């Protein structure tokens, strides 16, 4: 074998690498130049850059496949090289196709979000559905590419033929084995397209309140107020009841309960409650009320109702109302705070003394 037979393949591969580098630089400059113009549209420069690497990989495989016949490779080396190029082409093509599908889905989502800025609930629903479509299409493309790559091996093709002969039994076994996984996948599709829960919804699951942070084909991630993450299977949301506080409107009514003395000046407390709400940035102004909703032999139960834009604002507003009303009663009407009455019992059973006297006797005995 002459030195030229060894050098020529290296030069061909190097030429392909240089050509790819030039194409990459040219495309990158073009994207940088037109990127600012696309920033306001459905397709941005960042979206186009996501297709950069898979496109270069696909182009590299095509160029190498084109120059391979002229490389003069040994006869025993040509079949594995061509097979490797075929596998690389399948992988890079599937990668490029999945990125292109994701680009189209993201572009449609961006355009829809731009046109529906005044309807946040609809935007969240569309983002949830398109996210599910993106994951489903990516998984489907990967499975098809893997199956096609495996079928390029003669041994796998023979195994596939034997498997097709017993497809009924294998289908039954596979269906039983994958029942849980498939049920989660179909539940995820039902969850996304049934508009049951969306990204950004405020929900209560398993006694925990949080915000839906991520929805995949099989799981839903809920972020709680203390920065924990609850990972639930999507079948939970399909098969069990749960609270969705932002299903139609994120606005919510908060409640604060106060146990006070019967001598509480309710009218003055209501006026202070109105002042607190007007000063609070979390109140949305839709409604408010302060009422005595229950009585006990020693106290009354005062309920303060207030509306907020979302559950987070409602929580902050409830805390502020409690703090301000309790401080107001302590400063202006201390008699309104709940008290425990103490009276002396008739002497005759070892009692007959006040609580203070009995505590002193207990200390002396101890």
Which tens digits make up the pLDDT trace of 189-234? Answer: 777 677 778 888 888 888 888 888 888 777 888 998 888 999 988 8
Q: What is the pLDDT of residue 26?
A: 74
Using CA of residue 137, residue 138, residue 143, residue 148, what is the dihedral sign? positive
Assign 34 to helix, strand or coil.
Answer: helix
**Strongest mean pLDDT among 45-49, 95-99, 113-117:** 95-99
Instruction: Give the H/E segment covering residue 283.
Output: strand 283-295
Q: How confident is the model at residue 267 (pLDDT cuts 50, 70, 90)?
A: very high
Place of tokens 């502020």: 320
- 260 phi and psi angles, rounded to 5 deg: -125, 170
Other Cβ atoms closer than 10 A to 135: 17
Q: What angle do CA 125, 129, 133 make, to 5 degrees?
A: 165
Q: What is the pLDDT of residue 301?
A: 94
Least confident of 179-183, 304-308, 321-325: 179-183
Using CA of residue 21, residue 22, residue 28, residue 31, what is the dihedral sign? negative
Tokens in use for 310?
């979302």
Report which of 232, 185, 235, 238 is spatially closest to residue 207, judged by C-alpha positions.
Answer: 232
The pTM score is 0.51
Q: What is the pLDDT of residue 220?
A: 87
Report which of 281, 258, 245 is spatially closest to residue 338, judged by C-alpha positions.
Answer: 258
* pLDDT tens profile 272-284: 999 999 999 999 8
Q: What is the pLDDT of residue 244?
A: 84
Residues contacting residue 316 through CB under 8 Å, at least 6 positions apart:
282, 308
Q: What is the pLDDT of residue 366?
A: 43
Q: How confident is the model at residue 101 (pLDDT cuts 50, 70, 90)?
A: confident
Place of tokens 């392909």: 16
pLDDT at 110 over 90: no
Q: What is the pLDDT of residue 179?
A: 54
Domains and CATH numbers, the chain: 3-115 (no CATH), 154-250 (2.30.30.60), 252-336 (3.30.70.100)
Q: What is the pLDDT of residue 152?
A: 81
Q: What angle do CA 315, 320, 323 make, to 5 degrees?
A: 125
> With DSSP H G I counted as helix, E B as strand and the rest as coil, what are the percentages for the chain, rounded to 5?
60, 15, 25
| CB 137 within 8 Å of CB 98 | yes
Contacts 24+ apart (CB under 8 A), 226-230: 230/205, 230/206
Residues contacting residue 6 through CB under 8 Å, at least 6 positions apart:
none
Sheet holding 252-260, edge to edge: 252-260, 300-308, 283-295
Gap between the Cα atoms of 211 and 123, Å rounded: 16
Other Cβ atoms closer than 10 A to 335: 13
Residues contacting residue 246 through CB under 8 Å, at least 6 positions apart:
121, 200, 201, 202, 310, 311
The four Cα atoms 276, 280, 283, 285 give a dihedral, to 10 degrees, of 70
The residue count of the chain comes to 366
Place of tokens 């920033």: 39
Percent share of the chain, pLDDT over 70: 67
Other Cβ atoms closer than 10 A to 48: 18
Average pLDDT, the chain: 76
Pairing state between β 300-308 and 252-260: antiparallel
């Amino acid at each position: 074998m002459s030195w030229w037979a060894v050098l020529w393949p290296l030069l061909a591969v190097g030429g392909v690498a240089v050509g790819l580098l030039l194409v990459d630089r040219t495309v990158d400059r073009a994207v940088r130049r037109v990127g600012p113009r696309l920033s306001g549209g459905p397709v941005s420069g960042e979206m186009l850059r996501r297709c950069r690497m898979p496109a270069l990989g696909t182009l590299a495989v095509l160029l190498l496949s084109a120059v391979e016949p002229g490389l003069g490779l040994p006869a025993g080396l040509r079949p594995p090289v061509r097979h490797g190029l075929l596998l690389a082409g399948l992988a890079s093509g599937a990668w490029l196709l999945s990125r292109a599908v994701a680009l189209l889905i993201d572009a449609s989502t961006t355009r829809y979000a731009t046109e529906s800025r005044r309807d946040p609930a609809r935007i969240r629903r569309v983002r949830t559905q398109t996210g599910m479509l993106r994951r489903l299409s990516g998984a489907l493309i990967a499975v098809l590419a893997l199956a096609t790559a495996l079928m390029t091996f003669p041994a796998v093709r023979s195994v596939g033929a034997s498997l097709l002969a017993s497809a009924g039994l294998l289908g039954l076994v596979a269906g039983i084995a994958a029942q849980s996984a498939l049920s989660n996948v179909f539940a995820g599709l039902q969850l996304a397209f049934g508009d049951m829960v969306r990204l950004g919804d405020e929900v209560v699951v398993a006694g925990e309140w949080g915000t839906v942070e991520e929805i995949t084909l099989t799981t839903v991630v809920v972020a709680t107020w203390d920065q924990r993450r609850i990972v639930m299977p999507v079948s939970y949301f399909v098969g069990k009841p749960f609270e969705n506080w932002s299903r139609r409107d994120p606005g919510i009514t908060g409640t604060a309960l106060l146990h006070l003395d019967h001598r509480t000046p309710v009218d003055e407390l209501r006026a202070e409650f109105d002042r607190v709400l007007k000063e609070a940035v979390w109140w949305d102004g839709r409604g408010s009320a302060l009422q005595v909703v229950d009585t006990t032999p020693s106290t009354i139960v005062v309920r303060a109702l207030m509306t907020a834009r979302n559950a987070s604002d409602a929580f902050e507003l409830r805390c502020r109302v409690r703090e301000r009303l309790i401080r107001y009663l302590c400063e202006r009407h201390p008699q309104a705070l709940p008290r425990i009455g103490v009276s002396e019992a008739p002497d005759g059973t070892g009692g007959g003394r006040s609580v203070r006297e009995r505590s002193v006797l207990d200390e002396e005995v101890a």
